[in-house]
Amino acid sequence: MIKKIIYSSVVAVSITLSVVAGANEKILKKNDPAKIKDCHEGFNRAIFAVNKGLDNVIFEPVARVYRVLPSPVRSGVSNSLDNLSNLVTIPNNVLQGEFRKAGSNTGRFIINTTLGILGFIDVAEKIGFEEYEKEDYGQSMAVQGIGPGCYLVLPVLGPSTVRDTAGSFVNILGGDAWYNVTVRNNTQHFEDSDYIVSRLTAGIDFRAKNIESFDNLEKNAVDFYASVKSLYLQDRQQKILNSNGIIETMDDSDWDEIEN
């Protein structure tokens, strides 16, 4: 009897692993960077050039000034932004069936918001919570089997796909609790400007972290546009699969999601 139970359990686990592996294989193929079409390349390159001009004139200089701030201040700002992003990550954990992660990130958010002074200090990490991984609606849509569609370059926001752009709209239309609190509900404690400042700060923080990486990429790339596209699509594929592999030009801590 015990042998039968053990045998049945092994078979059940094997079947489950096979199903998961098959699902991951399909997701992997759908999000293969080599298979994602650049349907509007002319338009995308034009927007890319505009974004590059804005980066040269505004974003990179501001990011360099931001880097003058003491390291503890910059780390605290990054921690606070990560804490706010839990308000998008937690519902997407649920949508992807990652209920344990949803519970862990809820605990992380509560602890860091209170004991961590609005997330400025990552207390949750210090007391042993698992490493935080951001999730967004584009990733959830991919897990549900929705393909990326064509590659897009958005004004200011930069690289995206049709699916990820749609995910960003879902976020704004109701998925971002921070947006709902600050912009939609117009509470006495927060204003619309709080949301806007948080998004701009996230962009500056991201740019400051990647100054050398982008400089090296541009210096060594034959086609900077193509290199950025490849980098973005590789990173998105890994995030969708929750992979910790190293992509070709940057490590996996880069390309934080700033549009969601």
Interval 7-21: pLDDT, tens: 444 443 343 334 444
Q: What mean pLDDT is predicted for residues 128-151?
A: 93
| Domain residue ranges of the chain, discontinuous segments joined by + | 37-240
Helix or strand run (H / E) with residue 111: helix 99-114
Interval 241-255: pLDDT, tens: 887 654 544 433 444
CA distance 33 to 231: 9
Q: Quick one: tokens of 71?
A: 């390291």
> Does residue 36 carry a pLDDT above 60?
yes
CA distance 219 to 253: 21
Q: What is the structure's pLDDT at 190?
A: 77
Report which of 115, 109, 63 is spatially closest to residue 84, judged by C-alpha positions: 109
Q: What is the structure's pLDDT at 40?
A: 94
Interval 160-170: pLDDT, tens: 999 999 998 88
Name the amino acid, one letter, at 15: I
Q: Quick one: tokens of 3?
A: 């042998």
CA distance 196 to 183: 9
Report which of 190, 192, 202 is spatially closest to residue 88, judged by C-alpha positions: 202
Q: What is the structure's pLDDT at 175?
A: 64
Mean residue pLDDT of the chain comes to: 84
Q: Decide which of 20 and 135 is more confident.
A: 135
Name the amino acid, one letter, at 255: W
Q: Quick one: tokens of 81?
A: 């932004």
Interval 207-244: pLDDT, tens: 999 999 999 999 999 999 999 999 999 999 999 988 76
